[in-house]
Amino acid sequence: KKRILLMSLEALNSPPLVAAAGAALYAALPFLEQMTTIPWPTLKVANTLAFGINVLAVSRPGRIDGQPQEQPQDGKDKDSKAPSEMDRLSPGRSGRTLVAPAGWAFAIWGPIYLGEMAMVASQWLLLDESSPTRAILQKASAPFVVANVFQSLWCASFRPKYKKGYYMYLSWAMLTGTAYSLSKVHETYSYSSSINSGVSFGQYCLYFLPLSLHFGWTTAASLVNLNGAVALNPSASPRVVAWVGHATVIGASALGAAISLTRSAPVFGGVIAWALLAVADGMKQRLQSTEKKNDDDDDKTEVTGTYGAKTQLQLSRIGALVSGIAALTAAIQLW
């Protein structure tokens, strides 16, 4: 029965169906935000179910980021085996994208999911109708539900069957939808909004800090996803891959600084700085691994993934500094 269920879910996972579902979510979000009369018990159930579906979708195997990456063996690279999609998206020497964060950056998913699990569980304890935290969560519930559904659709679309043609950009569209929805969530409690009055620091950490982390990281991850889609396109030249990567890092730096300062959101800026430092570290790893291989093989031919990598390394470091300073400035202003 379990096998039949899994086969049925796989049959439902078709690119046109996922694309239609994503388009419907984009169209529905503005209307859902206006539905402020939904009873609080109903919203709590919706938040719990949406988060549960997200967790279930994330746990399903078969995504591109679940593919094994090439590993050195006996001091040599496994050149006999063609690189997988994940190899092309990694910081390793087979990587093609210039927005390839080092592996340590993805540890942020742990605090995000554990924090949101605590938030979803704790919302059931908010019984006081006059609670400012409950008032914020009531406004944030619709975009939070949409964000979780978008991320579930990303889990469905970030798979090898979507790597052909324009389908490879569907996962980027779904992750962008996640970040956009979480931006709407963030607006309900950011310090640029008057509704946040009365929320203690402890309540912020319990209910809203995980959401801020999630917003910042999916913003960065959507840009990583876009560059990955470009890099997996065989018709994209190294120059195109490099320029898209450079533009992405510059845009992420500007976005991190702008949102940090306009919304008084140091967490968002800090997460963008974290992501850019990871991209810089990824480029450092690639350059070092490529130089080592060339030294070992006496092959000085430039590898595709190194075109523009040195520039990307510097841009990422500068961007992390800019976003980090903006985050620190916003934090000081709050205190």
Q: What does pLDDT average to over the chain?
A: 87
3-class SS of residue 158:
coil
Give pLDDT tens digits for 97-149: 999 999 999 999 999 999 999 999 999 998 888 888 999 999 999 999 999 99
Rounded Cα gap, residues 135 and 66, in angstroms: 39
Asked if the model's pLDDT at residue 264 lies above 80, the reply is yes
Rounded Cα gap, residues 77 and 24, in angstroms: 45
| Inter-helix orientation angle 109-122/40-59, to 10° | 150
Q: 62: alpha, beta or left, given left = phi > 0 and alpha = psi -120 to 50?
A: left
Write down the pLDDT at residue 61. Answer: 85
Write down the pLDDT at residue 91. Answer: 73
Write down the pLDDT at residue 4. Answer: 47
3-class SS of residue 84:
coil
pTM beyond 0.85: the answer is: yes
- Average of per-residue pLDDT across 307-324: 96
Rounded Cα gap, residues 259 and 257, in angstroms: 6
Higher pLDDT: 207 or 61? It is 207
Task: Please report, rounded to a whole number, the percentage of residues in the chain having pLDDT higher than 70.
Answer: 84
Query: 6 pLDDT band (50/70/90 cuts)?
Result: very low
Query: 78 pLDDT band (50/70/90 cuts)?
Result: very low
3-class SS of residue 200:
coil
DSSP state of 130: T
3-class SS of residue 70:
coil
Higher pLDDT: 166 or 81? It is 166
- Average of per-residue pLDDT across 191-207: 77
Q: 76: alpha, beta or left, given left = phi > 0 and alpha = psi -120 to 50?
A: beta
Rounded Cα gap, residues 261 and 330, in angstroms: 6
- Average of per-residue pLDDT across 250-261: 97
Write down the pLDDT at residue 70. Answer: 55
Give pLDDT tens digits for 205-232: 999 999 999 999 999 999 999 999 998 8
3-class SS of residue 278:
helix
Give pLDDT tens digits for 283-302: 999 998 877 655 555 544 44
Rounded Cα gap, residues 149 and 193, in angstroms: 26
Write down the pLDDT at residue 197. Answer: 65
Query: 200 pLDDT band (50/70/90 cuts)?
Result: confident
- Average of per-residue pLDDT across 69-82: 50
Rounded Cα gap, residues 292 and 260, in angstroms: 39
Rounded Cα gap, residues 287 and 92, in angstroms: 9
Element (H, E) at 173: helix 170-189
